[in-house]
């Protein structure tokens, strides 16, 4: 008994032992909160931490683009098999959806994205990308690892889960609309809430930041072909110059935000693609431009879309050119703004404060970046937040989507513990709310 207490009691409070001996005892909000405080300690144990680091490095060495995450998916399934966690595969081509708990309602989900970016890694280290031109420059390798870490913790505590945790390993977040395919699959039909996170190089290690309401902008892509008449650069009067027309288009598009948008209604139009011509002395027949546009409201987003098309066609016409404009596609769909559920915001602050300490829970301003997690939030109450990884050893980390981006692996236990705590507590929250509702009905009767 002495040896047993040495190992059991620091991790499991006495009421947990009673619940194991008597399954009829209901574990409430305060009790599960106490248990979830231990999740970070568990995630920081050498065995668990080293296991997560190993997984993250395996994924990092073989980055895969959207809907091509076959190696990543195989690693996920191998680890779930080892943990004894059942799953469905394939979902959305390469995605995996796992299940922990009773197998019965209520269902609560947590999501990690899997895909990498078409970039050459410039960081020299033992486990750098082995695939030329591809890199995990946005931390998705860490996202997958942290969700697997949470899965390990939750599997060991599955007797405490009064419902089912749905683990969503999603492909193609980087513009491919993987979340759309997951939703269309119907696999999240009965889910009550969904949580997601993103690593942040700007936040200190172990800090989280988010806000209620609109967090990230809605985004869309556009591509235009401006066609003129090619000819010799020395006799431009015999040609119709599409490069000049495209240049005027780029300048005019910037005026949509500076002169047509309310300064208090944040919007962005960026032309990031300009292709045309292949010789110094030849005016080309056509030029292709493309870019992205972003806004926080659906009304502003659709107005911006309309005006982008009008400006491109109008400016091309002024320069005697023709233009065609395409928006979105199956490969690059529109994404709505990410809007955090108000009720989940209060809940998140409480749980994050218990796991990380109240002083490490920050409120942030909205960002113009976008996330296809917003697709889930349109059909399920959802909450998205940022998890910091800046430390003394990593004082000036490169931003995401940089070839010099590095993940501070010390972040892994924090993400695993946050995932596990948010979903474990949520069941108790639902149970407590239903109890209060029933008591109220009894009082009314």
Residue 106 preceded by cis peptide, ω within 30: yes
Residue 237: DSSP 8-state: G
The helix or strand, by DSSP H or E, that contains position 26, with its residue range, turns out to be: none
Task: Provide the β-strand partners of residue 232.
Answer: 282
CB 355 within 8 A of CB 421: yes
The CB-side HSE value for 149 (13 A sphere, CA atoms) comes to 36
Contacts of 218 (CB under 8 A, 6+ apart): 294, 295, 296, 297, 298, 301, 334, 335, 336, 337, 370, 374
Q: How long is the chain?
A: 445
Task: State the Cα–Cα distance between residues 393 and 256, nearest whole angstrom.
Answer: 43
345 assigned ligand-binding residue: no
Counting runs of H as helices and runs of E as strands, what totals does the chain give?
Answer: 13, 16
Q: What is the rounded distance in angstroms from the CA atom of residue 310 to the CA atom of residue 318?
A: 12
Here the tokens at position 248 are 């005027």
C-alpha dihedral sign at 44, 50, 51, 52:
positive
Q: Are 273 and 288 in contact (CB under 8 A)?
A: yes
Q: Is 232 annotated as a binding residue?
A: no
DSSP-based three-state secondary structure for 184: helix
The token duo for 119 is 């970039």
CA distances from 34 to 22, 40, 142, 351, 368 (A): 19, 12, 26, 10, 37
Rounded Cα–Cα distance for residues 3 and 172 (Å): 49
State phi, psi for 404 to the nearest 5 degrees.
-105, 10
Q: Is residue 127 annotated as involved in ligand binding?
A: no
Q: Which helix (H) or strand (E) holds 87?
A: strand 86-91
Q: Please state, as a whole number, how many other Cβ atoms lie within 10 Å of the Cβ of residue 299.
A: 10
Three-class secondary structure of residue 245 per DSSP: helix
State how far the Cα of 30 lies from the Cα of 25, in Å rounded to an integer: 14
- Judge whether 321 is annotated as a binding position: no
Spatial distance between the Cα atoms of 215 and 362, rounded to a whole number of angstroms? 13
Quick one: tokens of 150?
């949470």
Point out the annotated binding site.
Answer: 138, 140, 174, 198, 401
Point out the annotated binding site for Mn(2+).
Answer: 138, 140, 174, 198, 401
């Amino acid at each position: 008994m002495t040896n047993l207490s040495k190992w059991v009691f620091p991790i499991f409070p006495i009421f947990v032992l009673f619940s194991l001996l008597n399954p009829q005892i209901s574990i409430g909000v305060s009790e599960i909160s106490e248990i979830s405080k231990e999740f970070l300690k568990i995630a920081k144990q050498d065995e668990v931490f080293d296991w997560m680091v190993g997984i993250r490095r395996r994924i990092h060495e073989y980055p895969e683009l959207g809907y091509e995450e076959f190696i990543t998916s195989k690693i996920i399934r191998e680890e779930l098999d080892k943990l004894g966690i059942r799953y469905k595969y394939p979902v959305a081509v390469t995605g995996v959806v796992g299940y922990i708990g009773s197998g019965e309602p209520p269902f609560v989900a947590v999501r990690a994205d899997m895909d990498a970016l078409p970039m050459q890694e410039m960081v020299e280290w033992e486990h750098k990308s082995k695939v030329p031109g591809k890199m995990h420059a946005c931390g998705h390798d860490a996202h997958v690892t942290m969700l697997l870490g949470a899965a390990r913790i939750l599997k060991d505590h599955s007797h405490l889960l009064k419902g089912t945790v749905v683990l969503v390993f999603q492909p193609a977040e980087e513009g491919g609309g993987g979340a759309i395919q997951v939703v269309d699959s119907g696999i999240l039909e009965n889910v009550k809430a969904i949580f997601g996170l993103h690593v942040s190089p700007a936040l200190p290690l172990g800090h989280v930041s988010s806000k209620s309401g609109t967090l990230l902008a809605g985004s869309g892509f556009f591509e235009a072909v401006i066609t003129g008449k090619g000819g010799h650069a020395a006799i431009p009067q015999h040609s119709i110059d599409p490069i000049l027309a495209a240049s005027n288009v780029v300048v005019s598009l910037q005026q949509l935000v500076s002169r047509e948008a309310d300064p208090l209604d944040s919007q962005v139009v960026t032309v990031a693609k300009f292709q045309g011509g292949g010789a110094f002395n030849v005016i080309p027949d056509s030029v292709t431009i493309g870019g992205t546009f972003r806004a926080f409201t659906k009304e502003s987003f659709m107005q911006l879309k309309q005006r982008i098309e009008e400006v491109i066609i109008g400016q091309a016409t002024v320069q005697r050119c023709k233009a065609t404009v395409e928006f979105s596609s199956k490969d690059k769909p529109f994404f709505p703004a990410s809007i955090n559920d108000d009720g989940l915001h209060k809940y998140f602050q409480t749980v994050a404060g218990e796991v990380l300490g109240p002083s490490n829970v920050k409120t942030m301003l909205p960002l113009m970046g976008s996330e296809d997690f917003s697709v889930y939030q349109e059909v399920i109450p959802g909450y998205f937040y940022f998890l910091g990884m800046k430390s003394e050893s990593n004082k000036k980390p490169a931003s995401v989507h940089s070839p010099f981006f590095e993940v501070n692996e010390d972040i892994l236990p924090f993400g695993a513990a946050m995932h596990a705590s948010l979903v474990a507590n949520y069941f108790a929250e639902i149970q407590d709310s239903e109890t209060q509702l029933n008591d109220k009905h009894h009082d009314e009767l």
